[in-house]
Amino acid sequence: MNVQEASFRNPAATETDEPLFLDRKSLIQRTAIVAAAAAAETEEVDRQARFPQAAIDAARQHRLLGIQIPQMFGGEGASIFDITDMCYTLGRACASTAMIFAMHQTKVACLVRHGTGSGWHETLMRRVASEQMLLASSTTEGQNGGNIRSSSAAVEHTSAEITLVRNATVISYGRKPTASSRSRAAPMTRLPRTRCYWP
């Protein structure tokens, strides 16, 4: 399957009485507030090559980090089209903010797409929605030509944990997320049963 053939599903919407659409007026307003925070610091973010903390704090305050999580897990069930519009709005204000938000949302999309039915993943979805966790992205290995659906890192499973040894040269915003695969360099919430190492 390639990107053009992929379809997004919302299993929560088909299995519950939840509304299929979120309040788009509120979404537009909240995104505009975050974009204003991003625009206020964009010059400094670019000049100092720093993390757009105020913008991400605003996204967390306005509950945009967990907006894609299905309502049954505490989110708002935003669609990929909603996320695209949000990224566009944020990108017009600050490219760094938009890129971080988009990378976070790709991780959330994977969690939503594949996590329903797994207790551990459903708990993580609830945490992303309630705590507005920022998920880190580590997709650069150098051997896969940018194909994020392929990895040279082997996943090893024992009865107690899953271990991944990853030779990633880049961990985007690696010191700022509240959840990620564990990195030696970045303090963050350790996700249960998961250990990842970047040599």
Q: Domain residues of the chain, as ranges?
A: 11-131, 137-197
Q: Which pLDDT value is given to residue 10?
A: 47
pLDDT value of residue 19: 53
CB 176, CB 97: distance < 8 Å:
no
From first to last of its 199 residues, the chain has per-residue pLDDT tens of 344 444 444 444 444 455 556 788 999 999 999 999 999 999 999 999 899 999 999 999 999 999 999 999 999 999 999 999 999 999 999 999 999 999 999 999 989 999 999 998 999 999 999 999 998 866 666 666 556 666 676 777 777 777 766 666 566 666 665 554 443 333 344 444 334 443 3
Partnered with residue 165 across adjacent β-strands are: 197
Q: Write down the pLDDT at residue 160.
A: 76
Q: How far apart are the first and last CA of the chain?
A: 32
Q: Out of 2.120.10.80, 1.20.1250.20, 1.10.540.10, 1.10.10.60, select the CATH number for domain 11-131.
A: 1.10.540.10
pLDDT reported for residue 181: 42
